[in-house]
């Protein structure tokens, strides 16, 4: 293939083909408006509202029936808005999580979103990549692919580059040049030309779709479903009894049925599913804006409970921008001159062989730095490559120079290259001393060796060459400037940071100290292998750095930490990291340098590979959980006075206070409060100064439930006192208006007191979240309309309130506010005592 053909498409050609042929994606199922309407209108709350509206119309109360139907329409509109907001957030996440592709365009390697791939693109493939489109191989090196997605046969098939015009072949065949969209590269690397995209691929033809963000129920959603089922059964039973009681006492069965429907509605907390659907979806969208992509929504629940954060070093704590800082050859150290070539000699020879031991089209920043030091890379391909392996941390390239003896270059870990060179003890000690001196400066240290061998008789493994050690290369990878502050935030939040790296132990210890982690007592991979499970658990209880760790050892580390009772987050980017990512409570894959296998195994993907983004994600996770808890606390609290004021008149012989339209009015406040005001609440200032949430802690634990019941009880007391006074002093319609107005004020007070959490309720009125004030303003304006606009007042069976009645309503609202402030203060005191106990007796 001519060299100019390796330039790939130009950006303009790619844009034209994308416009002509469409994106490289399969059609996603579209949720139609009629389907959404049907699902929304079939919810129990709406069925009850429609039944009540039908009864009003049947009785000839056209005004009441039409007003109630209008409120049904408003409620459905709010629900559809919530659905649309959630669906848009999930669609944005699907687009972000679509497969990516590394292509050659304009002669440069570029990573692009999978949907932007077009026919004719040159696709660069490596181990762990998910093939983004159908393609024909042009160059391959040991390429083996898993095609079970198309064939159902779970074994690897070998691939070879096309010679001439290849014969047609189906998926599953060995030694063919065809690659298929959705299949997985298990070994090797290659370059392929895209032949089909989107619905024209083999995957598109058979109508299979890739797995996106799952819709599985989270543990919280399952808890909520159980709670709603119990409340629904209890609510229907109580409503039947109350309806019968009203009918028996008054003889008016239609109003009794309406009162029973109102009680059913008051006992049905239909907001719980909304909270557990909307909050995680919008929260995932917020996480994506913070550079943390959520692949599985239930992972958001675990973010706030993370107690140990296991992180890579290179590219996560550091910038992954390598430069050669120091060379060691012939017994001396040398700093490469800035902007000038190396002088001839041992260091120049060291740099040349370090570059020869690297891939010529390098994407790894370390290899790019070696080429930058040595000069332009060779344009031919190596005769043979011996790759890095967990057993031998070194790689070797063999080059054909047109002579019988091929040139052999190797680079790798100092101890690995020393073993390949079979250095005597004195020389090995010299190598280790020089490597330790470089590593103490935080440099990544590589040893380099050379050899020569007959090109026609290459050994099967790297250790078959007779190597000569040339020296050491020290590469600097600066720490990200935001990392020390992020590590300090983790420590304040009770999260232990454990750095896990394949790097040299002294280098790892130096970087750890720069990041603010204890650098003493590094746990090495060799030491880890020598420990049994009990000893490993004990060692990891205090460790902060693990060095020379292989991917399979990461899995052991995760399992040991989990056995210690920790909630573990683990970062990873390679194919072999997938088991550890799956085993961790929260697996976090790297979005920029990670493999597709790692991203698919992880629950979260770090879009910028930055440690600080993980910490921002944890803060957001705590915020999302706290907002969900506040919203559910509010929902539980507000249903106490609503249900109480639907039930008390039946028990005490008072006139009915709440009919279905009154419940619908209150729901028009509750729904936007949950989906807007609570979801938009910012992070608590102390969120990252508290220890992680306990493992398995319920969203509505008994202290939260007790607090909600107490707040609701205060509101019920205020409404009951107001209605009792009004029954004795006022006409029935005015009394109903008085009791209902107190309920509305109590509802608004509960919004602010539930949001207040650990601060004063009054402070919430000046908080940065203005949506609760907007909800309150709209609710009060609408209340005034139904009180003083005659047609609406008649529909609600209200009488106008005078100054005296308004004074009573405001006084009851003030009583509710004072009572809830007292409950909040008592709850904050209990939480402080619990937090103190948590610090003194941490979980085992």
Catalytic residues: 312
CA angle 663, 69, 84 (to 5 degrees): 85
Sheet holding 586-590, edge to edge: 292-294, 604-606, 586-590, 568-572, 308-311, 496-500, 545-547, 523-524
| 753 neighbors 772 (Cβ within 8 angstroms) | no
CB neighbour list of residue 8: distance below 8 Å, 6 or more residues apart: 103, 104, 105, 106, 107, 121, 122
Tokens describing residue 413: 């870990």
Question: What is the sign of the dihedral through the CA atoms of 428, 429, 430 and 435?
Answer: positive
CB neighbour list of residue 13: distance below 8 Å, 6 or more residues apart: 120
Nearest-CA neighbor of 551 among 533, 532, 570?
570
How far apart are the C-alpha atoms of 557 and 533, rounded to whole Å? Answer: 10
| 567 neighbors 618 (Cβ within 8 angstroms) | no
How far apart are the C-alpha atoms of 510 and 520, rounded to whole Å? Answer: 9
Decide: helix, strand or coil at residue 317: coil
Torsion of CA 9, 14, 17, 21, to 10 degrees: 120
How far apart are the C-alpha atoms of 554 and 546, rounded to whole Å? Answer: 10
Please classify residue 731 by burial: count the beta carbons closer than 10 Å to its beta carbon, then call 0-12 exposed, 13-18 middle and 19+ buried.
Answer: exposed
How far apart are the C-alpha atoms of 57 and 839, rounded to whole Å? Answer: 62
Tokens describing residue 41: 């209108």
Nearest-CA neighbor of 572 among 542, 539, 606?
606
Sheet holding 444-454, edge to edge: 332-334, 323-329, 468-476, 444-454, 405-412, 394-399, 384-386
Nearest-CA neighbor of 623 among 838, 303, 839?
303
Nearest-CA neighbor of 571 among 585, 544, 554, 589?
589
Q: What separation in angstroms does the CA of 379 have from each of 352, 361, 399?
A: 15, 9, 11
Tokens describing residue 2: 């001519």
Q: What is the DSSP letter of 130?
A: B
Q: Return the CA Rg of the chain.
A: 34
**Residue burial 244-263, b: 16+ Cβ < 10 Å; e: rest:** ebbbeeeeeeebbbbbbbbb
Q: What separation in angstroms does the CA of 188 have from each of 127, 601, 665?
A: 6, 20, 64
Nearest-CA neighbor of 325 among 315, 333, 336?
336
Number of helices and strands in the chain (H, E): 29, 22
**Residues β-bridged to residue 334:** 327
How far apart are the C-alpha atoms of 134 and 647, rounded to whole Å? Answer: 66
| 152 neighbors 48 (Cβ within 8 angstroms) | no
| First-to-last C-alpha distance (Å) of the chain | 63
SS3 content of the chain, % helix, strand, coil (to 5): 55, 15, 30
> What's phi and psi for 136, nearest 5 deg?
-115, 130
Length of the chain: 844
How far apart are the C-alpha atoms of 810 and 16, rounded to whole Å? Answer: 67
How far apart are the C-alpha atoms of 39 and 43, rounded to whole Å? Answer: 7
């Amino acid at each position: 293939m001519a060299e100019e053909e390796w330039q790939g498409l130009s950006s303009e050609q790619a844009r034209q083909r994308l416009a002509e042929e469409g994106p490289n994606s399969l059609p996603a199922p579209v949720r139609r408006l009629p389907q959404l309407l049907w699902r929304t209108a079939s919810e129990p709350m709406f069925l009850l509202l429609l039944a009540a509206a039908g009864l009003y119309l049947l009785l000839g109360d056209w005004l009441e029936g039409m007003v109630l139907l209008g409120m049904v329409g408003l409620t459905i509109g709010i629900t559809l808005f919530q659905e649309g907001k959630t669906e848009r957030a999930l669609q944005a996440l699907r687009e972000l999580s679509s497969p990516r592709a590394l292509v050659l365009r304009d002669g440069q390697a570029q990573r692009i979103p999978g949907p932007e791939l077009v026919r004719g693109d040159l696709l660069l493939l490596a181990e762990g990549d998910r093939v983004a489109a159908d393609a024909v191989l042009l160059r391959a090196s040991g390429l083996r692919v898993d095609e079970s997605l198309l064939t159902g046969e779970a074994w690897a098939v070998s691939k070879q580059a096309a010679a001439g015009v290849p014969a047609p072949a189906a998926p599953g065949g060995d030694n063919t040049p065809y690659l298929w969209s959705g299949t997985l590269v298990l070994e090797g690397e290659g370059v392929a030309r895209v032949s089909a995209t989107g619905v024209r691929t083999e995957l598109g033809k058979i109508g299979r779709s890739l797995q996106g963000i799952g819709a599985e129920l989270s543990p919280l959603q399952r808890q909520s479903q159980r709670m709603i089922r119990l409340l629904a059964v209890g609510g229907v039973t109580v409503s039947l009894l109350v309806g019968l009681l009203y009918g028996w006492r008054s003889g008016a069965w239609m109003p009794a049925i309406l009162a029973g429907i109102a009680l059913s509605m008051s006992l049905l907390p239909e907001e719980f599913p909304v909270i557990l659907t909307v909050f995680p979806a919008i929260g995932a969208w917020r996480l994506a804006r913070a550079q943390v992509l959520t692949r599985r929504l239930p992972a958001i629940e675990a973010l706030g409970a993370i107690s140990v954060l296991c992180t890579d070093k290179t590219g996560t704590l550091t910038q992954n921008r390598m430069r050669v800082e120091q060379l060691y050859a012939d017994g001396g150290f040398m700093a490469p001159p800035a902007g000038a070539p190396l002088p001839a000699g041992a260091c120049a020879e060291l740099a040349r062989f370090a570059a020869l031991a690297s891939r010529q089209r390098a994407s790894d920043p370390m290899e790019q730095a070696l080429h930058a030091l040595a000069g332009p890379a060779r344009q031919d391909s190596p005769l043979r490559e011996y790759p890095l392996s967990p057993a031998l941390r070194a790689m070797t390239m063999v080059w054909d120079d047109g002579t019988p003896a091929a040139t052999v270059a190797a680079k790798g870990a100092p101890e690995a290259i020393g073993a390949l060179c079979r250095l005597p003890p004195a020389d090995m000690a010299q190598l280790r001393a020089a490597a330790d001196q470089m590593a103490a400066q935080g440099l990544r240290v590589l040893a380099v060796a050379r050899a020569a061998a007959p090109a026609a008789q290459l050994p099967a493994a790297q250790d078959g060459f007779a190597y000569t050690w040339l020296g050491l290369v020290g590469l600097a990878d600066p720490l990200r400037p935001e990392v020390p502050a992020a590590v300090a935030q983790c420590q304040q939040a009770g999260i232990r940071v454990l750095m896990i790296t394949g790097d040299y132990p002294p280098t790892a210890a130096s970087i750890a100290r720069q990041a603010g982690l204890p650098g003493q007592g590094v746990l090495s991979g060799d030491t880890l292998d020598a420990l049994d499970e009990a000893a490993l658990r004990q060692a990891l209880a205090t460790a902060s750095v693990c060095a020379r760790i292989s991917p399979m050892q990461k899995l052991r580390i995760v399992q040991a930490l989990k056995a210690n009772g920790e909630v573990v987050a683990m970062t990873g980017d390679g194919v072999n990291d997938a088991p550890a990512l799956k085993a961790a409570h929260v697996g976090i894959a790297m979005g920029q340098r990670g493999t597709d296998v790692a991203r698919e195994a992880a629950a979260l993907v770090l879009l910028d590979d930055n440690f600080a983004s993980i910490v921002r994600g944890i803060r957001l996770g705590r915020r999302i959980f706290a907002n969900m808890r506040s919203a559910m606390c509010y929902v539980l609290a507000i249903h106490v006075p609503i249900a109480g004021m639907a039930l008390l008149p039946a028990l005490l012989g008072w006139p009915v206070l709440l009919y279905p339209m009154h419940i619908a009015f209150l729901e028009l406040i509750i729904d936007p409060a949950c989906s807007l005001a609570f979801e938009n609440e910012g992070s608590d200032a102390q969120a990252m100064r508290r220890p992680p949430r306990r493992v398995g802690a319920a969203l509505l634990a008994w202290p939260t439930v007790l607090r909600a019941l107490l707040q609701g009880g205060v509101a019920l007391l205020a409404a009951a006192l107001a209605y009792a006074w009004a029954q004795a002093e006022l006409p029935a319609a005015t009394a109903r208006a008085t009791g209902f107005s107190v309920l509305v004020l109590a509802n608004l007070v509960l919004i602010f007191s539930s949001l207040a959490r650990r601060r004063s309720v009054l402070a919430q009125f000046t908080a940065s979240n203005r949506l609760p004030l907007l909800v309150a303003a709209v609710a009060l304006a609408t209340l005034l309309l139904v009180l003083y606009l005659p047609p609406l007042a008649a529909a609600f069976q209200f009488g106008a309130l005078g100054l005296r009645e308004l004074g009573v309503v405001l006084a009851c609202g003030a009583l509710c506010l004072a009572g809830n402030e007292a409950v909040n203060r008592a709850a904050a005191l209990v939480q402080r005592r619990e937090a103190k106990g948590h610090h003194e007796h941490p979980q085992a």
